[in-house]
Structure 1
Protein backbone atom coordinates (compact mmCIF):
# COMPACT_ATOMS: atom_id res chain seq x y z
CA UNK A 1 0.00 0.00 0.00
CA UNK A 2 1.46 3.35 -1.02
CA UNK A 3 1.34 6.40 1.25
CA UNK A 4 -1.46 8.93 0.78
CA UNK A 5 -0.82 11.62 -1.82
CA UNK A 6 -1.07 14.68 0.43
CA UNK A 7 0.84 17.91 0.52
CA UNK A 8 2.98 18.25 3.67
CA UNK A 9 0.85 21.18 4.86
CA UNK A 10 -2.41 19.24 4.42
CA UNK A 11 -0.94 16.17 6.10
CA UNK A 12 0.10 18.19 9.15
CA UNK A 13 -3.33 19.80 9.48
CA UNK A 14 -5.12 16.45 9.13
CA UNK A 15 -2.86 14.75 11.67
CA UNK A 16 -3.55 17.58 14.13
CA UNK A 17 -7.33 17.47 13.61
CA UNK A 18 -7.55 13.68 13.82
CA UNK A 19 -5.08 13.63 16.74
CA UNK A 20 -2.91 10.91 15.18
CA UNK A 21 0.85 10.90 14.58
CA UNK A 22 1.84 12.13 11.11
CA UNK A 23 3.49 8.83 10.23
CA UNK A 24 0.35 6.91 11.14
CA UNK A 25 -1.77 9.27 9.03
CA UNK A 26 0.42 8.78 5.96
CA UNK A 27 0.04 4.99 6.14
CA UNK A 28 -3.67 5.03 6.95
CA UNK A 29 -5.86 3.42 4.27
CA UNK A 30 -7.83 6.06 2.41
CA UNK A 31 -11.26 4.65 3.32
CA UNK A 32 -10.40 4.82 7.04
CA UNK A 33 -9.22 8.41 6.66
CA UNK A 34 -12.50 9.35 4.95
CA UNK A 35 -14.46 7.61 7.72
CA UNK A 36 -12.58 9.54 10.42
CA UNK A 37 -13.17 12.84 8.62
CA UNK A 38 -16.90 12.09 8.41
CA UNK A 39 -16.94 11.37 12.16
CA UNK A 40 -15.29 14.76 12.80
CA UNK A 41 -17.95 16.50 10.72
CA UNK A 42 -20.75 14.79 12.66
CA UNK A 43 -19.21 15.94 15.95
CA UNK A 44 -19.14 19.55 14.72
CA UNK A 45 -22.86 19.64 13.97
Structure 2
Protein backbone atom coordinates (compact mmCIF):
# COMPACT_ATOMS: atom_id res chain seq x y z
CA UNK A 1 0.00 0.00 0.00
CA UNK A 2 1.43 3.37 -1.00
CA UNK A 3 1.54 6.36 1.38
CA UNK A 4 -1.23 8.92 1.20
CA UNK A 5 -0.77 11.56 -1.48
CA UNK A 6 -0.89 14.64 0.74
CA UNK A 7 1.07 17.84 0.73
CA UNK A 8 3.15 18.32 3.89
CA UNK A 9 0.95 21.24 4.99
CA UNK A 10 -2.23 19.19 4.58
CA UNK A 11 -0.72 16.25 6.44
CA UNK A 12 0.27 18.43 9.40
CA UNK A 13 -3.20 20.03 9.58
CA UNK A 14 -4.94 16.65 9.41
CA UNK A 15 -2.69 15.15 12.09
CA UNK A 16 -3.56 18.07 14.41
CA UNK A 17 -7.30 17.84 13.71
CA UNK A 18 -7.40 14.06 14.22
CA UNK A 19 -5.03 14.18 17.20
CA UNK A 20 -2.75 11.52 15.73
CA UNK A 21 1.02 11.64 15.24
CA UNK A 22 2.06 12.66 11.72
CA UNK A 23 3.85 9.35 11.14
CA UNK A 24 0.72 7.40 12.09
CA UNK A 25 -1.39 9.55 9.77
CA UNK A 26 0.89 8.85 6.81
CA UNK A 27 0.61 5.08 7.33
CA UNK A 28 -3.14 5.10 7.92
CA UNK A 29 -5.19 3.30 5.26
CA UNK A 30 -7.11 5.81 3.15
CA UNK A 31 -10.55 4.41 4.00
CA UNK A 32 -9.86 4.81 7.73
CA UNK A 33 -8.68 8.37 7.20
CA UNK A 34 -11.84 9.20 5.22
CA UNK A 35 -13.98 7.62 7.95
CA UNK A 36 -12.29 9.76 10.62
CA UNK A 37 -12.75 12.90 8.52
CA UNK A 38 -16.45 12.13 8.11
CA UNK A 39 -16.76 11.73 11.90
CA UNK A 40 -15.13 15.15 12.32
CA UNK A 41 -17.61 16.67 9.87
CA UNK A 42 -20.56 15.26 11.82
CA UNK A 43 -19.16 16.70 15.06
CA UNK A 44 -18.74 20.13 13.45
CA UNK A 45 -22.35 20.35 12.30
**TM > 0.5 fold call:** yes
Residue-pair matches, total: 45
**Structure 1 runs (4+) greater than 4 angstroms displaced:** none
> TM (normalized to structure 2)?
0.96
> TM (normalized to structure 1)?
0.96
Question: Which 5+ residue runs of structure 1 have no aligned equivalent?
Answer: none
RMSD: 0.4
Question: Which 5+ residue runs of structure 2 have no aligned equivalent?
Answer: none
